[in-house]
Amino acid sequence: MAGSAAVAAGESAAAAEQTEPAAPTPADASATVDPAASAAGIDSNAPPPATTGADDPRTDAERDFDEIYGVQPQEYDPVADPTLPAPANVPGAYDPWERYNRKMHRFNMAVDRGIARPLARAYSKVVPRPIRLGVSNFFNNLGQPVSALNALLQGKPKQAAQSLGRFALNTTLGIGGIFDPASDAKLPNRSEDFGQTLGVWGWKRSRYVELPFFGPRTVRDSFGALADAPLSPLRQVERDRIRIPLQGLQLVDVRAQLLPLDSLRDGAEDEYALVRDSWMQRRDYQIFGDRMDKNGDSQLPEYLQDDSNPSVPADAMPVMPTDGT
């Protein structure tokens, strides 16, 4: 028996020595690396998590899928991406009179929803668009002399000459400014006022204030309006029965141009903050836009950079403190 067992053991050992060992498989022969998973720090070839039963939130189908294709990489999270630049720091509005301004804003919005907006909608519905465009061109043209003067005061002689050229061309060939051949002649339409001039001269930061009926301003821009109003051609019309209807038409025209922005304002969680911040950012762009564009620092959306997006001009205010008795 012992001899037979020894013989059998010897034969088994000989058979094992004759069998060739299996060649080792290189580690990278079957493994494929997912670039997206590698960037996210995830091994795409790792087996699915060893969780079973109540500890595994996956469905049977999801477990089968993971067993066949491996664990899928995590979804990209842009908030946690360290390669993204730091968010831009937008300075807050200087609004120490916020308590008063919010009350005045509610009053202005009540007037707007009850009077100004319905008039603007009726005007846009009844008056054909070519006529409305001619009205806007007419009032824009009347503001070019004031823009030219303020551009000159800001040290922009080329822009001042362009504003005067627009006024001369549109007043003559444009039939009093109803048409706009100056734009066809590639003369840029830039609006400047004395509030912007004060900003260029150094009054950079000013308190935000909301005026009754005429909306957002700053203290600086309120003084600027007082300076611009006597220079307006519209305010040179002495007959009230002519001047006041024209000013009323200008107010309706301005409000009609702002109708596309109503949906943004009405859907805001804080309407006052939206109006204040957007107005202040746009105002800063109007004053410092040339330097911001040169340095590549402009962060405003295009609709706030558009100079045709109007606010109530000083010459549309029926009564000003500078008016004579």
**How many whole angstroms separate alpha carbon 109 and alpha carbon 60?**
58
Structure-model confidence comparison of residues 318 and 289, the more confident one: 289
Confidence of residue 137 (pLDDT cuts 50, 70, 90): very high
Q: Average pLDDT of the chain? A: 79
Q: Does the pLDDT of residue 2 top 50, yes or no?
A: no
Q: How many domains does the chain have?
A: 1
In a domain, 44, yes or no: no
Question: Would you place residue 64 in the very low, low, confident or very high pLDDT band (cuts 50, 70, 90)?
Answer: confident
pLDDT higher than 60, residue 304:
no
Q: State yes or no: pLDDT of 242 exceeds 70.
A: yes
**Assigned domain for 8 exists:** no
**Interior angle at CA 186, CA 130 and CA 308, nearest 5:** 50
Domain ranges, residue 297: 98-316
Quick check: is 275 in a domain?
yes
> Quick check: is 45 in a domain?
no
Chain mean position to CA 23: 64
**Residue 229 resides in a domain:** yes
What pLDDT sits at residue 13? Answer: 47
315 within 8 A of 234, measured Cβ to Cβ: yes
Tell me, yes or no, whether 81 lies in a domain. Answer: no
The burial of 276, by beta-carbon neighbours within 10 Å (0-12 exposed, 13-18 middle, 19 or more buried), is given as buried
What does the chain come to in residues? 325
> With a threshold of 0.75, does the pTM exceed it?
no
pLDDT reported for residue 16: 47
Q: 325 pLDDT band (50/70/90 cuts)?
A: very low
pLDDT for the residue 62 = 76
Please tell me the predicted confidence (pLDDT) of residue 296: 57
pLDDT of 174 over the 80 cut: yes
- 189 within domain boundaries: yes
71 inside domain? no
